[in-house]
Structure 1
Amino acid sequence: MEPQRQIILKQAPYSLHDLYDRYAGMLLGYLSEAVKDRKLAEQHLVNIFNIIPQHLDELNTADTNTWCQLQRLAKKHLTGSSVKETGGHEVGNGIIIEKGRNKFLDQMSNEQQTVFCAVYYNHKTIMQLADELNKPEELIRKALREAFAIIRKGT
């Protein structure tokens, strides 16, 4: 009889059905927490599982964590679709202000909102943001520190 590890290694790659059975519940919880709306999260889940077949090769490589890959895919999907669904708006250079996703944004200045959303939601680095906004990196860091101070103060 083969050890359990060898049996697992010989299993065929995930099919879409396998991924759904194993991860849909966790992914729905992840999406629900991100968008704070169950119906919207369910719609995102459907949309993500519709695009998964295009990414099955990435999900089936032996050296990747499937759950992390699904989270990455979900985050990418949410970032791409968040403007119309959360009431966010683009302020230029691909920076999206996510008004509906963070209750502390209303307490921030426009500069703090722009920096926080660019870094946190749009995954830009301080260096990228400084170049795009044509401002020194230290000013970007200061605005980001101030934004996080507002969030810490409110929690």
Structure 2
Amino acid sequence: MEPQRQILLNQTPYTLQDLYNRYAGMLLGYLSEIVKDHQKAEQHLVSIFNAIPQHLHEINNTDTNIWCQLQRLAKKHLSDSFVVGGGSHLGNGINTRQDKNKFLDRMTDEQQLIFSSIYYNHKTTLQLAKELNKPEDLIRTTLKEAFAIIRKGL
């Protein structure tokens, strides 16, 4: 086998530069939609791409979707950027990270429960609607209200 071809075969599927070239624009759009401030979204993008080298082995796993992996890292980064202290639980084993998230104290109990269930415990709106015996549209509306509170605080 040619030496150049062997080198290409031994390289990891994606380098940091490859990921940036392919996904930075989409990730910036994703972040901009969440934080509603382009400058802050750019700052978050830089922080996320600075953390990616620690997660390249996860991203390069052939069984995973790279875009989903990057979104997961972005969600973790954003939730960590809201963190300021310890953690707690809110009924049914749902982790609210109430002591850690400076925005949760600005939300109603229902907003806290829905936001925490979806973003910290990775439940879908449909799962949560069934658990709480509430319409899925109400869950979505309450989640949007929680995000509005977060955006105001940024």
Q: TM-score, normalised by structure 1?
A: 0.61
Q: Does 1:141 align with 2:116?
A: no
1:48–1:73 Cα contact (<8 Å) kept:
yes
Counterpart of 1:71, as a letter, is: Q
Q: Within 5 Å, which residues of 2 pair with 1:1-155?
A: 12=11, 13-83=13-83, 92-93=88-89, 95=96, 110-123=108-121, 141-142=132-133, 147-148=138-139, 151=142
Cα gap change, 1:14 to 1:145, in 2 (>3 Å): closer
Cα gap change, 1:23 to 1:11, in 2 (>3 Å): farther
2:59–2:66 Cα contact (<8 Å) kept:
yes
Shift of 1:92: 3.7
CA-based RMSD of the aligned residues comes to 3.8
Shift of 1:149: 7.6
Shift of 1:91: 8.2
Higher RCO, 1 or 2 (CA under 8 Å, sep at least 6)? 2
Q: Distance in 2 between matches of 1:65 and 1:111?
A: 34
Cα gap change, 1:44 to 1:69, in 2 (>3 Å): same
Counterpart of 2:17, as a letter, is: H
1:96–1:117 Cα contact (<8 Å) kept:
no
The number of residues matched between the two structures is 123
2:82–2:102 Cα contact (<8 Å) kept:
no
Shift of 1:23: 0.6
Secondary structure of 2:82's match? helix
